[in-house]
C-alpha cells in the first residue's frame, strides 16, 4: 500500500515538473526574441506589446479595401518597423501596404507590390510635409503608386496597386 502511494506521488510530481518545464520552454523564445519582427493580430496588440504609441493609421480607405489590415508585422529591434497589408475586397490580393519605419533604417517592405516601371517621380507638399510620389506600373502593366514622407522619427511609405488619386487621399488622412 505504501509503495502505491509513493508511486502516485512520484507520478504526480513528475507530471508537475514536466508541465513546468514545458511552460518554461514556451516562454524562453518569446522572452529572448522580444522586439524582433513578428505578426500581430491588431494595431492595439502592437501598441501594448511593443510600446509604440505613434502608429500612423489612415482614416480614409477606398471601398475596395476594408479595415482591419489582413496582416500586421512589427518590430522594435534592431529598429522600429510596422507594416500593414490590406487585401482588395474583389480579388483577395494584397493591394495596399503601409509601412512606418525608423527614419535612419534602410527597409523597404513593398515586395508584394512592386513598381516595375516608374513613369513619374514628383516631390511636392501635402499638408505641409515634403512628400515623394512615384507613379508607374507593376506586374502585368497594373497601375501602381508609392508615396513616402518623414513624419517625426519615422519614414512612412504607402504603396498601392492603383493610380495616385486614392493613394493621396489615404496619405492625407494619416497626417495629423
pLDDT in tens, 11-22: 777 888 878 777
Averaged pLDDT score across all residues of the chain:
87
Instruction: Examine the domain organization and report whether 83 and 107 are in the same domain.
Output: yes
Tens of pLDDT along 26-38?
A: 655 554 456 777 9
Rounded to 5 degrees, φ, ψ at 26 are -75, -35
Instruction: Examine the domain organization and report whether 123 and 92 are in the same domain.
Output: yes
Instruction: Examine the domain organization and report whether 2 and 62 are in the same domain.
Output: no
Identify the band that residue 112 occupies on the pLDDT scale cut at 50, 70 and 90.
confident
- CA distances to 60, 110, 164 from 85, in Å: 15, 10, 18
Instruction: Examine the domain organization and report whether 51 and 84 are in the same domain.
Output: yes
Instruction: Examine the domain organization and report whether 7 and 55 are in the same domain.
Output: no
Identify the band that residue 25 occupies on the pLDDT scale cut at 50, 70 and 90.
low
Any idea which of 31-40, 111-120, 137-146 has the lowest mean pLDDT? Answer: 31-40
Instruction: Examine the domain organization and report whether 110 and 166 are in the same domain.
Output: yes
Instruction: Examine the domain organization and report whether 167 and 84 are in the same domain.
Output: yes
**Could you give the count of Cα atoms lying within 13 Å of 158 in the half-sphere of its Cβ?**
27
Residues contacting 107, CB < 8 A, separation 6+? 79, 81, 99, 101
Instruction: Examine the domain organization and report whether 26 and 54 are in the same domain.
Output: no
Tens of pLDDT along 39-59?
A: 999 999 999 999 988 999 999
Among 81, 104, 94, which residue's Cα sits nearest to residue 35?
Answer: 81
Asked if residue 86 lies in contact with residue 137, where contact means CB atoms within 8 angstroms, the answer is no
Instruction: Examine the domain organization and report whether 22 and 58 are in the same domain.
Output: no
Amino acid at each position: 500500500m505504501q509503495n502505491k502511494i509513493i508511486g502516485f506521488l512520484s507520478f504526480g510530481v513528475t507530471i508537475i515538473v514536466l508541465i513546468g518545464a514545458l511552460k518554461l520552454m514556451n516562454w524562453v523564445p518569446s522572452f529572448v526574441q522580444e522586439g524582433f519582427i513578428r505578426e500581430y493580430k491588431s494595431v492595439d496588440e502592437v501598441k501594448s506589446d511593443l510600446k509604440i504609441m505613434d502608429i500612423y493609421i489612415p482614416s480614409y480607405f477606398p471601398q475596395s479595401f476594408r479595415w482591419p489590415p489582413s496582416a500586421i508585422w512589427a518590430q522594435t529591434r534592431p529598429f522600429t518597423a510596422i507594416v500593414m497589408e490590406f487585401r482588395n475586397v474583389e480579388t483577395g490580393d494584397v493591394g495596399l501596404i503601409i509601412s512606418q519605419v525608423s527614419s535612419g533604417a534602410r527597409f523597404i517592405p513593398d515586395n508584394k507590390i512592386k513598381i516595375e516601371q516608374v513613369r513619374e517621380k514628383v516631390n511636392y507638399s501635402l499638408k505641409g510635409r515634403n512628400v515623394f510620389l512615384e507613379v508607374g506600373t507593376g506586374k502585368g502593366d497594373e497601375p501602381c503608386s508609392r508615396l513616402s514622407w518623414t513624419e517625426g522619427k519615422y519614414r512612412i511609405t504607402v504603396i498601392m496597386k492603383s493610380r495616385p488619386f486614392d493613394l493621396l487621399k489615404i496619405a492625407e488622412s494619416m497626417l495629423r
